Chains A and B, each alone.
Chain A
Amino acid sequence: MKRQGILYCALALLFFCAGARAGTLDEVKARGKLNCGVTQGLAGFSSTDASGNWAGLDVDFCRAVAAAIFDDPSKVNFVPLSSKQRFTALQSGEIDVLSRVSTWTMQNDTALGVNFVGVIYHDGQGLMVRKKLEVQSALELSGAEVCTNTGTTTELNIADFFRSRSMPYKIVAFEKSDEALKAYEAERCDVYSTDASSLSAQRVKLAQSEDHVILPDLISKEPLAPAVRQNDPQWESLVRWTLFALINAEELAVTKANADKLSRADAAPGVRRLLGAEGDYGRAIGLDNDWALKAIRAVGNYGEIFDRNLGQQSPLKIDRGLNRLWNNGGILFAPPVR
């Protein structure tokens, strides 16, 4: 009798866990919050102020997704992750969206079980050195020791760059970027290397930031992109088109301030489709038709987000460069909503 009881218990447990699986969107809705993986602190992309409020480009993107789903940009749970944890956290279901300055590479896109939805920031890897080294170009760095983060493409790009030029080098890879910077500051390394955008944010943390110079060379292309798990096409579309909607909004001059008005006014057809006044575009991704309106209303268009976090309105004052719209001298290009 007892033995049978045990058997039934075991079977019951097995059935319990083999229950039907809901899609990511349903899970997020049921939870009432979006779980968004961000950095552990990188000014301009995702960092917290003293009272714990998250801010940055990556953060605002997750807010936009949350707003598109819940019409409330605050319904996000930000999960700070180190670079070595990020893909594992996405695979395991710990987070729904990875919005964490992650480079879109073939390996990352194919072998890790995640899909990148589109480029949110076109970056390249830069190098910072001390001025007193009197180095003008990355090509003079033979024998250099390079401080950087572990578990990123940075490590690999450095390897490629030095190896292809047969220059000896040593890589000193830290778990956290602040520690890498501190070691560089203590002159453990000749070079500190990371994405060019982060480089300027990191430089202001140095005690004598004017003693350091960012070399003009970019040694790689780093298309930074949000990522989702590979197994949910609908969720992937939702996240991808939220990104495209923000970029399209800038192109169509839809802003945080005028979005509501435009959605009611007799605007251009492209604007009407984007804001859900025309067509039935929301249903295919499981949302209402005014999903993009909700997102733009909450965080603004791509240009506004950029300016607020990285551009002229931010302490970083990063030039938009490649990240201008395609019709404005940049390469930022989103497929149309139609």
Chain B
Amino acid sequence: MTRADAPPPSLATSPSRRLLGRAVNAAVTLALGVALAIAAYGALSFLVFGAAWSGDVSACRATDGACWPFVAAKLKQFVFGRYPDDELWRAALAMLLPPALLLAAFLARRRVGLGGFAAAVLLGLPLSFLLVAGDGALLAPVPTEAWGGLTLTLLVSYTGIAASLPFGIVLALMRRSSWPVPRWLAICFIEFWRGVPLVTVLFMAAVMLPLFLPEGTSVDKLARALFAIAVFASAYMAEVIRGGLQSVPENQVTAGRALGLGYSQILALIILPQAIRSALPGIAGTFIGLLKDTTLVLVIGLFDFLGMIQLAAADPAWSASTTTLTGYAFAALVFWSLCYAIALVSAYLERVTAVGRR
């Protein structure tokens, strides 16, 4: 997350130039202002003033604006997909658990330290999956076909980020290694996955994977999509972490050695914390990318948030000319808020962790 900096110091010196500068400045301001006003008017008249706010599908058919009753009627489906009605609390809890645990670990960071974070990550995600899937004893099992909507979007992105961090670190270390075999393996792996479109990878994972496994082996479709996304994200994460590693000066290693630390200690205590801190914007960027990329699981027949919205928009009972557009607008609103929230959190973390540097 970056903020636009203050303007560079005024470069114009002579008064006439300054005057001209001011005129240009005013013209630019005016033009932009008018353009913004037009755009805002268009958006607001569709989203607010011209929109149908209550009633049913007939209210939507009567207007050119957004059809909010559609969103209200389908909201449950957007968020939880086809998850059973009685068990919705489980899906809701599963969505909130990982960030909540991380937040708790962050608030209590002085007491729990890095181990607390690791525990939050290691506990949060499996617990979420257990909640959603059910254990068969206390919680009724829910098959993965019933998972969907925002729940699926979030679970897929959580998994992607949780898996890609450790694998990304390993891959980045391998790529920077002085040993040729790990280095070349890492390069091949990273460049392969970064070189192909996610759509093709998901297609392979969805319908061609059984070809590469012994006959009769069956792996859940969602698990395969998760695996594909985790592998894909790891390759990107590795490059982000590598950038972070490069920012740590060589002499830190020497300093660590002088203190008598071993390689793994130097890595864990000196290099990685600094590397991860300087890679934070990149990590947040990867997370945002993951969240956005989950929309592609649609191509393999899993219904994420956007998929559910499209599915609902095809419902004959809600066929009005603006149903689809309203769905897209709502999707945009939710995705944007989530991604922007991640960006804000990352910016905050950057500020907090930078304290030691001042």
Contact = CB atoms under 8 A, between A and B. Distances in A.
Q: Do chains A and B touch in the complex (CB under 8 A)?
A: yes
Interface of A: 16-17, 19, 21-22, 27, 30-31, 35, 40-41, 43, 48, 50-52, 77-82, 85, 88-89, 92-94, 175, 178, 181-182, 204-207, 209, 315
B216 A48 contact: no
A93 B301 contact: no
Contact of B320 (A21, A51, A85, A207): A207
Interface stretch (B206-214, B248-256, B281-289): B206-214
A30 B214 CA distance: 15
B82 interface: yes
B145 A93 contact: no
Given A78-B145, A80-B301, A207-B319, A17 B214 contact: yes
A207 B61 contact: yes
A205 to B, nearest CB: 5
B310 A178 contact: yes
Contacts of B315: 205
A19 B214 contact: yes
A31 B211 CA distance: 18
Contact of A52 (B145, B203, B215, B313): B145
12 contacts: A16-B214, A22-B215, A22-B216, A30-B216, A50-B82, A78-B145, A92-B211, A93-B215, A204-B319, A205-B314, A207-B320, A207-B321
Give the bracket for the number of chain B residues in contact with chain A: 35 or more
Contacts of A178: 310, 313-314
A13 to B, nearest CB: 10
Given A41-B311, A51-B85, A93-B216, 8 more contacts: A21-B215, A40-B301, A77-B143, A85-B207, A89-B206, A94-B207, A94-B209, A178-B314
B299 interface: yes
A93 B210 contact: yes
Contacts of B216: 21-22, 27, 30, 93
Contacts of B61: 207
Contacts of A52: 81-82, 145-146
A206 B313 CA distance: 11
B311 to A, nearest CB: 7
Nearest to A204: B316
Contacts of A41: 311, 314
